[in-house]
């Protein structure tokens, strides 16, 4: 009996040894290893995507020789504010260019949101002949490169005498096919019972849209505001064609003209201009970021 008890105690001590306990821990660590690898890869991709932004900001504080140095400097050896002084306080009307860009991008985004919301409401909540065909025609226009519309737009602007005008830069952005698609998908997630209840209470179409539907569409409004603002802000090619007067330049066009007018291409000044033009877009994104992801995902499962 005594031998049996001693044998049982010996087996228990062997089971509780570290070598025996480490087996489940190793298996548990092995199951977690793919998660750590995925996290590492995600962090690496995030840092790689931020590298161009870092290079642009750092380059704005470099002199020309350091900006063009080989191998490149990942940190300026002689940081300077000369590029920013030349950009902001030089002879160029940089602040006027900034106001032009803010006005064009803001008004374009506001009008694109309004027209897209109205069209999306019609396609998402109304039934009329040719609705599907018209909607698919709008979707097809998203697949066409914008360059093919430059010549018709140029002829139209010449007939309207809209060269060097704000309306010439704003009007082409009023019809925004992607915005119509986004709002159409989002409108389908709004319950029809709310619209029917508003009609029973005697509300007309415009009152139902502005008082019921539009306040519920804040996520879609926020997401489209970012897309439309950034697209209008970066519409370099059309603004370059339409505008020839120096005071009517937008910031991207003005900075490109400023850099190209120099005898030697000033990379540091170009980086400062790109950084300065990036700041308003960052502010807009931070202002509407709460609605951005929600506006993209809600309604996406509806056909």
pLDDT value at position 32?
56
Rounded distance, CA 202 to CA 206, Å? Answer: 12
pLDDT value at position 33?
62
pLDDT value at position 302?
47
Question: Which pLDDT tens digit goes with each residue over 120-166?
Answer: 999 999 888 989 999 999 989 888 888 888 899 999 999 999 999 99
Q: How confident is the model at residue 71 (pLDDT cuts 50, 70, 90)?
A: confident
Q: How confident is the model at residue 72 (pLDDT cuts 50, 70, 90)?
A: confident
Residue by residue, DSSP assigns 202-228 as T--HHHHIIIIIHHHTHHHHHHHHHHH
Which of the two residues, 209 and 296, has the higher pLDDT score?
209
Rounded distance, CA 86 to CA 76, Å? Answer: 18
In a domain, 302, yes or no: no
In a domain, 12, yes or no: no
Tally of CB atoms within 10 A around 246: 14
In a domain, 72, yes or no: no
In a domain, 77, yes or no: no
Rounded distance, CA 41 to CA 37, Å? Answer: 6
Cα distances from 114 to residues 131, 211, 214, 227, 285, in angstroms, run 20, 14, 10, 14, 19
Which domain CATH number covers 126? Answer: 1.10.3720.10
Q: How confident is the model at residue 92 (pLDDT cuts 50, 70, 90)?
A: confident
pLDDT of 274 higher than 80: yes
Rounded distance, CA 277 to CA 255, Å? Answer: 9
Question: Which pLDDT tens digit goes with each residue over 2-59?
Answer: 454 455 555 545 445 444 444 555 455 555 567 778 788 888 888 888 888 888 889 8
pLDDT value at position 260?
74
In a domain, 49, yes or no: no
Q: How confident is the model at residue 99 (pLDDT cuts 50, 70, 90)?
A: very high
pLDDT value at position 79?
85
pLDDT value at position 142?
87
In a domain, 13, yes or no: no
pLDDT value at position 160?
93
pLDDT of 232 higher than 90: yes
CB of 228 within 8 A of CB of 176? yes
Average pLDDT of the residues in 101-111? 95
In a domain, 14, yes or no: no
Question: Which pLDDT tens digit goes with each residue over 233-255?
Answer: 999 999 999 999 999 999 999 98
pLDDT of 279 higher than 80: yes
Q: Quote the number of domains for the chain.
A: 1
Domain hosting 259: range is 90-297
pLDDT value at position 294?
66
């Amino acid at each position: 009996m005594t031998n049996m008890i001693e044998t049982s105690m010996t087996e228990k001590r062997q089971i509780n040894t570290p070598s025996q306990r480490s087996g489940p821990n190793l298996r548990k660590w092995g199951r977690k290893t793919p998660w750590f690898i995925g996290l590492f890869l995600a962090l690496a991709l995030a840092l790689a995507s931020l590298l161009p932004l870092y290079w642009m900001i750092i380059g704005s504080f470099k002199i020309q020789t350091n900006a063009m140095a080989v191998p490149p400097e990942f940190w300026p050896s002689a940081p300077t504010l000369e590029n920013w002084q030349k950009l902001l306080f030089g002879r160029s009307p940089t602040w006027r260019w900034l106001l032009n860009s803010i006005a064009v991008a803001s008004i374009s985004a506001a009008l694109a949101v309004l027209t897209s919301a109205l069209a999306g409401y019609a396609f998402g909540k109304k039934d009329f002949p040719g609705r599907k065909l018209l909607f698919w025609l709008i979707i097809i226009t998203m697949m066409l490169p914008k360059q093919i519309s430059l010549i018709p737009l140029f002829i139209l602007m010449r007939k309207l005498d809209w060269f060097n005008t704000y309306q010439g830069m704003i009007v082409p952005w009023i019809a925004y096919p992607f915005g119509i698609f986004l709002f159409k998908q989002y409108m389908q997630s709004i319950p029809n019972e709310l619209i029917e209840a508003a009609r029973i209470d005697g509300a007309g179409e415009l009152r139902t849209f502005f008082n019921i539907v539009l306040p519920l569409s804040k996520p879609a409004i926020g997401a489209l505001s970012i897309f439309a603002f950034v697209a209008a802000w970066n519409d370099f090619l059309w603004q370059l064609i339409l505008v020839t007067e120096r005071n009517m330049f937008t910031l991207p066009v003005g900075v490109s003209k400023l850099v190209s007018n120099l005898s030697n291409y000033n990379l540091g000044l170009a980086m400062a201009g790109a950084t300065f033009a990036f700041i308003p877009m960052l502010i807009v994104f931070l202002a509407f970021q709460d609605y951005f992801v929600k506006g993209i995902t809600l309604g996406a499962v509806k056909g």
